[in-house]
């Protein structure tokens, strides 16, 4: 029997995508093992979700920058993930751009989910960008992480219609539902 790939799940927020991944593992829909959950926010929801599923949870002090890790923190992150036996790094609401230390440590093995149909609307609050542009369809994208922002090779996408009465909040909520369905499926696809 082949060993299940080890996942390191990184997040900065509530942990809803982390929960969807861990539930898929628990239901044996996703043949993987979550080895560690890491956050750059001390009391983030993702850390609570990881503990709830008996996954090691770790806080990583990010350093002085708002949108990326300090160089020494990024090197430490790579070491923590390697020490935990991680094969795939899964960004689940991780709000910092990863740079060369991580990209070199896990080449073509870092996944992200983004709330738009990339390449449209990379960056922050993509659902607001889609509304402002007058789009009728948006969605979510799972992609490999590269040196750019939301620019890596696309793995899978799911469309979400934009309704005439949508607000940023209602649209974002529907995109998050699609994310929680798509991400475990896409992880299963790349880990197969």
- Known catalytic residue: 114? yes
**CATH number assigned to the domain comprising residue 176:** 3.40.50.170
pLDDT of residue 141: 98
Over the stretch 125-160, which tens digit does the pLDDT of each residue have?
999 999 999 999 999 999 999 999 999 999 999 999
pLDDT of residue 3: 81
Q: Which residue is catalytic, options 48, 114, 143, 172?
A: 114
Residue 1, in any domain of the structure: no
Entry pTM: 0.95
| Long-range residue pairs from 53-58, CB within 8 A, at least 24 positions apart, any chain | 53/22, 53/26, 55/9, 55/22, 56/84
Q: Determine the structural domain holding residue 27 and report its residue range.
A: 6-191
pLDDT of residue 2: 59
What is d(CA 132, CA 168) in angstroms, rounded to the nearest whole number?
Answer: 10
pLDDT of residue 192: 83
- Sites in the chain below the pLDDT cut of 70: 1-2
Counted domains in the chain: 1
Other C-beta atoms lying within 10 Å of the C-beta of residue 112: 23
> Which of 27, 82, 79 is closest to 53 using CA atoms?
27
> Parallel, antiparallel, or unpaired for β 137-144 and 110-114?
antiparallel
pLDDT of residue 42: 95
């Amino acid at each position: 029997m082949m060993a299940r790939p080890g996942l390191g799940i990184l997040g900065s927020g509530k942990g809803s995508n982390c929960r969807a991944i861990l539930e898929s593992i628990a239901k044996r829909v996703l043949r993987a093992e979550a080895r560690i959950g890491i956050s750059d926010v001390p009391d983030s929801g993702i850390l609570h979700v990881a503990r709830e599923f008996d996954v090691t949870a770790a806080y990583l002090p990010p350093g002085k920058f708002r949108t990326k890790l300090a160089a020494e923190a990024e090197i430490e992150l790579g070491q923590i993930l390697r020490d935990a036996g991680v094969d795939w790094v899964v960004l689940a609401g991780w709000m910092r751009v990863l740079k060369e230390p991580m990209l070199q440590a896990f080449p073509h093995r870092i996944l992200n989910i983004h709330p738009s149909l990339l390449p449209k609307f990379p960056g922050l609050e993509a659902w607001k960008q889609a509304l402002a542009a007058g789009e009728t369809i948006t969605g979510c994208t799972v992609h490999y992480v590269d040196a750019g922002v939301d620019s890596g090779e696309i793995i899978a996408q799911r469309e979400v219609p934009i309704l005439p009465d949508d607000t940023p909040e209602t649209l974002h909520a529907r995109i998050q539902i699609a994310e929680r369905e798509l991400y475990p499926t896409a992880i299963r696809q790349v880990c197969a």
